[in-house]
Copies of this chain bind each other. A is one copy, B any other.
Amino acid sequence: MHKNIKFVLVNTTHPGNIGGVARAMKNMSLSELTLVRPKFFPHAEATARAAGADDLLSNAKVVDSLKEAISDSQLVIGTSVRERTIPLILLDAKAAAVKIVNEAKTGHKVSIVFGTENSGLSNSELQLCHYHLCIPTNSEFSSLNLAAAVLIVAYEIKAEALGNENFIFDNPALDLATNAEVELFYDHLKKVLQEINFLKQENPEQLMQRLRKIFSRIRLEKVELNILRGILTAIEKTHDKTNLS
């Protein structure tokens, strides 16, 4: 699936940015990089910024025109942070990722195109695209670095691909206390609070309800419940000493 998703950089000026793009792509499990007339490539700065993603650089295709770069693609998405005069259908990064992952899974080739650093994609370049991806930014400070723009798009693709695989973080399987065990804790707590004269007030049930509300939010593990019961027992021992005196 990931092999069907290609990032295309047009007329990149700073080789360091190409390296930053490679790193961002690899961080998000993407590998296909095509460069349209890069100003400097290969370049030591690109390799340095790639920080271990240099396999993407050595496998990158370098071509002469955007048309050539996207010739194998069934879906072409142009990116920018600016509103454009070409009225392509506008997608935010999340909506674009849904479309990209969907298409790539059906076996279509997808190209995601990024323009030159200063001016982005030209109107004639945008006309080669099916959709226009716009990354939401601060309207007063919208100049995203090229690698940053790639990172956000790649991240959304990663998140969407994971989501489609029913990816769930493996929260550790907790050995939670049963409701009966928690009720025994409440009984114990109430008994101790009466013994230390905390529950002699006007409305003890109201206070117990508040305490239940606190602890019910925790969903205690068995081992945690045992610690709390241990504390209650320690309080009782202190109290017993008082009573003996």
Contact = CB atoms under 8 A, between A and B. Distances in A.
Contacts of A92: 159, 169
Contacts of A169: 90, 92, 134
A230 B214 CA distance: 14
Nearest to A89: B171
A161 to B, nearest CB: 9
A105 to B, nearest CB: 18
A143 B217 CA distance: 35
Given A159-B136, A196-B237, A144 B242 contact: no
A107 to B, nearest CB: 20
Interface string A186-212: 000000010111100000000100110
A27 B138 contact: yes
A53 interface: yes
A245 B241 CA distance: 9
15 contacts: A27-B138, A27-B144, A89-B171, A135-B155, A138-B158, A148-B148, A152-B152, A193-B231, A195-B238, A198-B234, A210-B227, A214-B227, A218-B218, A238-B239, A242-B242
Interface of A: 23-24, 26-29, 51-53, 83, 87, 89-90, 92-94, 134-138, 141-145, 148, 151-152, 155, 158-159, 162, 167, 169-172, 174, 193, 195-198, 207, 210-211, 213-215, 217-220, 223-224, 227-228, 230-231, 234-235, 237-239, 241-242, 245
